[in-house]
Every structure is written in C-alpha cells, then in structure tokens.
Amino acid sequence: MADRLALLGQEPGDIETFSALLQDATLRLADVGYDRKSRRLALLVNRYRREAEAPSRIRCALRVETVDAVQRAGWPADPQAVTAILSMRQDGDWLVITCAGDIAIRARVEVIDLVLEEMGEAWATMRVPKHD
C-alpha cells in the first residue's frame, strides 16, 4: 500500500494548498454532510492526482471543523448529481468551496481547521481535466 496524503490546515494560507489539491476533484452532492452538533462539514471526493506520474484519482475525505453554519447555492434537486470542485477560498468568516455548474458551499468557521485524508488505493483515469 502506497503512502497516503494526510494534510492538516490551520492557517489562512493553507487554504490555497487545499484548493490546489482539490481542484478538479469530483463530488457527488450526496457525499456532503454537515453535523451541527460536532460542528463539522465533511465531503467525500475523488481527487485528481496531479502529482502522480500517470493520470489517476483517489478517494479523499475533506473535513472542515469549527463550523457554525453552512449555506449552499445552485444545489440541484438530484442528490446523486456530480460536480467538480473548482476552488476553495476564505471570504471573511466563511470558507467558500466553488464548484462547476454554479454550485457553491459556504461554511462559517470559527478558525481554520481543515483535514484532507486519502482513503484506499488510487485508480487510473483517462479523463484528464483541461483548463483554457
């Protein structure tokens, strides 16, 4: 089993690193959950591995801690809909995850407390994200 990425972000500058790692990750909207009691937003994504020698993806969990509120925009009615993460940024007290299709998730956070963990093994993909 190969080494898996496990990353902790606790500074505003860390958001840029998380954004770069998550760009083009696919996200099934049913795999987004907010636990109000634990103050945790969790997303399960298939991250595109730009750092790999050959095009591949790997299943990852993104946890956002100390979340006081979550808002979503452009959310389709179908929970099985899939989108791609475009970016993550901070806007005041809000962490904003922007996705394709004008979909966005906003989480109001007390402090920056992010965890990204790879799970399982990577798999090859022929679908390489392209940006103009």
Q: What is the pTM for the complete model shown?
A: 0.93
Confidence of residue 127 (pLDDT cuts 50, 70, 90): confident
Q: How far is CA 53 from CA 5, 119, 124, in A?
A: 16, 19, 11
pLDDT single digits (tens) 63-81 = 999 999 999 999 999 989 9
Other Cβ atoms closer than 10 A to 62: 25
pLDDT single digits (tens) 69-124 = 999 999 999 989 999 999 999 999 999 999 999 999 999 999 999 999 999 999 99
